[in-house]
Chain A
Amino acid sequence: MKKLIIIPAYNEAKNLENVVKNIKENAPSFDYVIINDCSTDQTKELCAQKGFNVVNLPVNLGIGGAVQTGYVYGVENDYDLAVQVDGDGQHDPAFLEKMSVVLQEEKAEMVIGSRFIDNQGFQSTGMRRMGIKYFSGLIYLLTKKRVTDPTSGLRMINKDIIRLFSKDYPKDYPEPESIVAVLRRNKKIVEIPVEMKERQGGVSSISPKKSVYYMIKVSLAILIEGIRKY
């Protein structure tokens, strides 16, 4: 069983060392690949100097394109499962072993680490929780499936979905939209409770100004995904 951790990183030089160290300690059966999304800080130099396994994108592609590069890497190197762990240290690699066990035992195609099953750890702000509830409802309307944390970046997928995402993955804010793409193909998604930390550095890609665009764009994307034919 080949297991891959994809770490999308944009200007995360401060956090990356800890993230990689944490993975080696808490998820030793996983390989990892850092996707450096054309960072403007020392990310590239740091990775070269420390000998990290890294793919350096020559042009900034945004989160969707960066994570997708990881899936392309996963297909080319024949990985059986892949999981995204953000480069900012929000995701705890200690949950990965459990996620991979659930993926195999429940024969799920996707396992999502959800903050809102046990409501432990960093719970995000009230406004964001409201937005997440709204997306959860929208996904339920379209697919009749409950996903409590559709914006969680901590997601593990099996080989089929790696192949699917390597060909077709949203460019920005990909999480809720790609969940619908998976559910619409009658694939199984399982959520397990996780705790997330507050980001250890850097800033969120969704600023208050962008949140209006985010809500509209993701709503539309979910609706359109809901009427696609496969």
Chain B
Amino acid sequence: MITLKSQMIIIGLVLITLIYFVNMVRKHQLDLRYALSWFAVGVAILLMACFPGIMDWLARLIGIASPVNMLFFFGFVFTLILVFVLTYSVSRMSNRIKVLTQELAMLKKEMNDRK
């Protein structure tokens, strides 16, 4: 069982992190679009820390013997999905940058030729 002390520590850490995220979005350092999934993770951890019963209930529901295993499993799956989404946006971005680079180079050439 989780102790009250560790519960408090986890809740505190998650709250600080969430506030940090919100602040970054506020200062336009982080896109809300990309921060949303992190907010979801933060809220999920917060809920589980406040009501540890959720984990046992969920583990029993999907047939995993130990709630800890379930946590690791979902944590890993979530990380993989997130990394994949990032790979996807990197490919999309590199394509866009390529087109922009080519257009810019052509424009510059036209400008220079006119001089």
Contact = CB atoms under 8 A, between A and B. Distances in A.
Interface of A: 54-59, 61, 65, 68-69, 72-73, 76, 171
Contacts of A65: 98, 101-102
30 contacts: A54-B109, A55-B105, A55-B106, A55-B109, A56-B105, A56-B108, A56-B109, A57-B101, A57-B102, A57-B105, A58-B104, A58-B105, A58-B108, A59-B97, A61-B98, A61-B102, A65-B98, A65-B101, A65-B102, A68-B98, A68-B102, A69-B102, A69-B105, A69-B106, A72-B102, A72-B106, A73-B106, A76-B106, A171-B94, A171-B98
Contacts of B101: 57-59, 61, 65
Contacts of A57: 101-102, 105
Interface in B88-111: 94, 97-98, 101-102, 104-106, 108-109
Contacts of A54: 109
Contacts of B104: 58
Nearest to B98: A65
The listed residue with most A CB atoms (<10 A of its CB), out of B94, B108, B109, is B109
Contacts of A55: 105-106, 109
A13 B72 CA distance: 55
A69 B100 CA distance: 11
A165 to B, nearest CB: 12
A144 B101 CA distance: 37
Nearest to A72: B102
Best-surrounded residue of A57, A68, A171 (most CB of chain B within 10 A): A57
Contacts of A72: 102, 106
Contacts of A61: 98, 101-102
Nearest to A33: B109
A68 B98 CA distance: 10
Contacts of B94: 171
A4 to B, nearest CB: 14
A57 B98 CA distance: 10
B101 to A, nearest CB: 5
A58 B103 CA distance: 10
Max chain A Cβ within 10 angstroms of own Cβ: one of B97, B102, B104, B109: B102
A60 B56 CA distance: 53
Nearest to A38: B101
B80 to A, nearest CB: 21
Contacts of B98: 61, 65, 68, 171
Interface in B62-115: 94, 97-98, 101-102, 104-106, 108-109
B114 to A, nearest CB: 14
Given A57-B105, A65-B101, A68-B102, 15 more contacts: A55-B106, A55-B109, A56-B108, A57-B101, A58-B108, A59-B97, A61-B98, A61-B102, A65-B102, A68-B98, A69-B106, A72-B102, A72-B106, A76-B106, A171-B98
